[in-house]
Amino acid sequence: MTDTRLLKALRGEVTDRPPVWFMRQAGRYLPEYRALRAQAPDFIAFCLNPEMAAEATLQPMRRFGFDAAIVFADILLIPGALGQKVWFEAGEGPRLGALPDLASMQALTAGAGAALSPVGETLSRVRIALDPERTLIGFAGAPWTVATYMLDGETRSIGKGERAQARTFYYREPETVLALLDILVEATAHYLKMQADAGAQVLKIFESWAEGLPDDLFEVLVLKPHQKLVARVRELGVTVPLIGFPRGSAALAERYAHECDVQAVALDTACPLVVGQRVQAIKPIQGALDPLLLRVGGEALDRRVDQLLEAWGEGPWIFNLGHGILPDVPIAHVEQVLKRIGAQ
């Protein structure tokens, strides 16, 4: 395969300019995506329709020519593969049914990749259609983040915005939560292997809910499961680079970079530039433009892009957002950023 700009950056090389892609680059800010999405009966069905998901993956590549395409899927496909009911309600987001018993989920872990094989077909379709200069990224939700949704289930009585329900569950029943995390490590490892076998050249682990954790819980709920997941993925024979995204980890991102054997660390919007520099001294970084600035555009957007270029531009660095692109972001503002960093 072509040695792409993104793959070079993940090896620690300084490239002619930072490779760039955006989290949620396929999505509601694109009129072509909205037209496509209207053809599917529900969101899960859309994710598991290889023809539609491949088209959604390729749409931003045709429009913007990002350096990487990330497969269109969702972090909550894994609970469905483990027997938990998952659905999305318009304007409300994901909903999950009651948590299955641990033994029944454990029995399904090795088959998680096969159960989600439509995602593999999507990757294969995209790889055929994608310019060889562009990198194809697969992904999965990290164990703790997926567990927070699974543990919340239909009960959303306290602090859902901070995932307080799941954290409270851990304080009350740590053995149950740790057993669930181990189940998710195994299932996710098989899911990621399937994606690599289908053509993913990079795999990303999304820990969307690392924020708000005290350092002892960060170690138990985020760091150790990531270490186990990376080790298990390698045991299964996967050799492609891994990007870890402990969103909201703040200064703990530096510890994560030291202790987790991913090839790059994605940083979130709130990460100070100096912390990014310290992480970058350990391994390549990704991030971390504020999606709200992308919405605003203008001089404020140019100024922050320039600040990131000055602080991290010597690399190795992958230019990205610190969180997903918002549905109301003007297309012209995406083009503004790409021009500013020399990608258009």
**Per residue in 79-102, pLDDT tens?**
999 999 999 987 778 999 999 999
Q: Write down the catalytic residue from 17, 37, 232, 255.
A: 37
Active-site residue (options: 5, 29, 67, 74): 74
170 is catalytic: no
Name the fold adopted by 5-340: TIM Barrel (3.20.20)
Paired residues of 292 in beta bridges: none
pLDDT of residue 1: 60
pTM: 0.96
pLDDT, tens only, 134-177: 999 999 999 999 999 999 864 444 344 457 889 999 999 999 99
Query: 234 an active-site residue?
Result: no
Query: Distance of CA 12 to CAs 21, 22, 81, 207, 266, Å?
Result: 17, 20, 35, 23, 14
pLDDT score recorded for residue 163: 72
User: Mean per-residue pLDDT for 295-311?
Assistant: 98
- Looking at every residue in the chain, the average pLDDT score rounds to 94
Q: Among 234-238, 251-255, 281-285, 304-308, whose mean pLDDT is lowest?
A: 251-255
Q: Summarize pLDDT for 121-137 with one digit per residue, the tens.
A: 999 999 999 999 999 99
Percent over 70 (pLDDT), the chain: 97
Which is the catalytic residue, given 29, 149, 170, 256? Answer: 149
Among 55-59, 105-109, 213-217, 220-224, where is mean pLDDT lowest? 213-217
Distance CA 190, CA 285 (A): 26
Q: Determine contact, residues 66/320, Cβ cutoff 8 Å.
A: no
Whether 33 is catalytic: no
Residue 74 annotated among the catalytic residues of the structure: yes
The predicted model gives 34-61 an average pLDDT of 96
**Across residues 17-46, what is the average pLDDT?**
96
